[in-house]
Amino acid sequence: MDGDQQNGAATPALPADPKVANRARFELELEFVQALANPFYLHSLAQQNILEQPAFVNFLEYLLYWKEKEYARFIHYPHALHHLELLQHAQFRSQMKKDESLREFLHQKQFDHWRTWREQPTSTDSKPEAALAAQKNIPSES
């Protein structure tokens, strides 16, 4: 028996198939990066001193590959990438631990974004040209 099993902690077995292992790693990292969109989660990490650990800081730097186009397309919460970028800075990480108003500020900005980002044009016409013309008081060509 190894040390982990003796202590009662089970370590997840890695799949033997490299494709399965890569997919599992991809999904795990995607889930973690998307969790970074939550300002309350960031604050929790800061309160637990996780953001100060050099290994974790290196991991955050490694995760920057998610900003590349071929990976970013899988991100559902765009604030995750913004927060990942902010976490690259020691000042932000330390401020996140000390200042609950920063958490509230990030939360409010996020709320404001989601509240307004999908507002539909006021025109009920389905043609984009007609909607644009209506906004500019120009007769449409249709």
- Taking the C-alpha atoms of residue 96 and residue 92, their distance in angstroms, rounded to an integer, is 6
Mean pLDDT for the stretch of residues 81-91: 90
Please report how many Cα atoms fall inside a 13 Å half-sphere around the Cα of residue 74, on the Cβ side.
Answer: 15
Give the model confidence (pLDDT) of 45-56 as tens digits: 988 999 999 999
What pLDDT score was predicted for residue 38? Answer: 85
What pLDDT score was predicted for residue 28? Answer: 95
Mean pLDDT for the stretch of residues 118-138: 50
String of b and e for 67-93 (b: at least 16 CB within 10 Å)?
A: eeeebeeebebebbbbbbebbeeeebb
* The pLDDT of residue 110 is above 70: no
Write the DSSP assignment of 80-137 as a string of letters: HHHHHHHTTSHHHHHHHHH-HHHHHHHHHHHHHHHHHTTPPPS---S-HHHHHHHHHT
Per the model's pLDDT, the better-predicted residue between 126 and 96 turns out to be: 96
